[in-house]
């Protein structure tokens, strides 16, 4: 009789252990969000004040700077001309996002934005962090650029 109780106990323990492993492995905190889809659209640079003083003597101003990410992988950047406030400097590029396998913190995913441009302000692999679906930060050369969706 003891042997029968031990077998039942072992069966129940195995079922509970398997069920609890499945439960914990299905939590949504392990899911990675596809931010490449969420990046599509127009974004405006927000922290202009702190960055503009580092961009003196350039042909552009960061005020009203935008980036338009198209679903076909093209990117258009617009910045105000420093010589004529009514003129926008428009640059074309291509873009892609790759997701890092290393998670930085809970609910944040380390990703890399690659922008290829011969003439634009960025031509690099840039670290990108999303704080939510409407805000992301680009980190390049120890500078952080905050963008919000328009």
CATH code at 41?
A: 2.40.128
In this predicted structure, what is the pLDDT of residue 57? 84
Query: What span, in angstroms and rounded, lies between the C-alpha atoms of 77 and 143?
Result: 18
**Considering its fold, how many domains does the chain have in total?**
2
In this predicted structure, what is the pLDDT of residue 80? 93
**Which residues in the chain come in under a pLDDT of 70?**
1-35, 99-110, 119-123
17/42 same-domain check: no
Question: pLDDT by residue (tens digit) across 74-105?
Answer: 999 999 999 998 999 999 999 888 765 544 44
102/139 same-domain check: yes
48/19 same-domain check: no
91/26 same-domain check: no
Range of the domain at 24: 1-30
26/81 same-domain check: no
47/93 same-domain check: yes
Query: What span, in angstroms and rounded, lies between the C-alpha atoms of 125 and 30?
Result: 25
115/43 same-domain check: yes
The pTM of this model reads 0.68
Burial 96-133 (b: 16+ CB within 10 A, else e): ebeeeeeeeeeeebebebbbebeebbbeeebbbbbeee
Of 40, 46, 47, the C-alpha closest to 95 is 40
Q: How open is the CA angle 120-67-106, to the nearest 5 degrees? A: 115
């Amino acid at each position: 009789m003891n042997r029968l109780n031990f077998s039942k106990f072992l069966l129940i323990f195995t079922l509970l252990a398997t069920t609890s492993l499945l439960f914990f492995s299905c939590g949504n905190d392990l899911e990675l969000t596809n931010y490449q889809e969420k990046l599509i659209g127009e974004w405006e640079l927000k922290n202009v004040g702190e960055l503009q003083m580092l961009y003196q003597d350039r042909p552009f101003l960061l005020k009203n700077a935008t980036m338009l990410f198209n679903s076909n992988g093209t990117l258009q950047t617009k910045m105000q001309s420093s010589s004529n406030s009514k003129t926008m400097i428009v640059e074309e590029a291509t873009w892609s996002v790759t997701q890092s396998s290393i998670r930085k913190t809970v609910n944040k995913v380390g990703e890399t934005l690659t922008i290829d441009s011969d003439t634009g302000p960025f031509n690099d692999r840039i670290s990108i962090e999303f704080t939510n679906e409407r805000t992301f930060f680009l980190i390049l050369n120890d500078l952080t650029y905050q963008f919000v969706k328009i």
